[in-house]
Amino acid sequence: MSEDVVYDHLRRVPLFADVPPEDLRSVAKTTRPVLKEKSSVIYEEGSPADSCYVITSGRAKVVLSGLDASEVILNWVGPAQLIGELSLIDGSLRSASLVALDECRLLRLPKPSFLELRNNRAFEDKLFAHVTAMLRRETEQLRVIYTYNADERVSWSLARFAIGNGWRNGEPIVITPKPTRGELASMAGCEPETVSRVMLKLKKAGLVIDDRHSFRLDPRAFRTYLESAAHCVLP
Contacts of 23 (CB under 8 A, 6+ apart): 116, 117, 120
pLDDT at residue 235, rounded to an integer = 43
Distances, alpha carbon 135 to alpha carbons 86, 138, 169, 175, in Å: 11, 5, 31, 25
pLDDT in tens, 99-137: 998 899 999 999 999 999 999 888 999 999 888 888 888
Residue 226 · residue 162 · CB < 8 Å: yes
pTM, whole model, 2 decimals? 0.77
Domain locations along the chain: 3-132, 148-232
pLDDT at residue 83, rounded to an integer = 93
pLDDT at residue 176, rounded to an integer = 80
Residue 107 · residue 24 · CB < 8 Å: no
Residue 102 · residue 38 · CB < 8 Å: yes
206 has which bridge partners?
none
Which superfamily, per CATH, for 3-132?
Jelly Rolls (2.60.120.10)
Fold of 148-232: Arc Repressor Mutant, subunit A (1.10.10)
pLDDT in tens, 51-80: 999 999 998 999 988 766 678 888 888 899
Low-confidence ranges of the chain (pLDDT < 50): 234-235
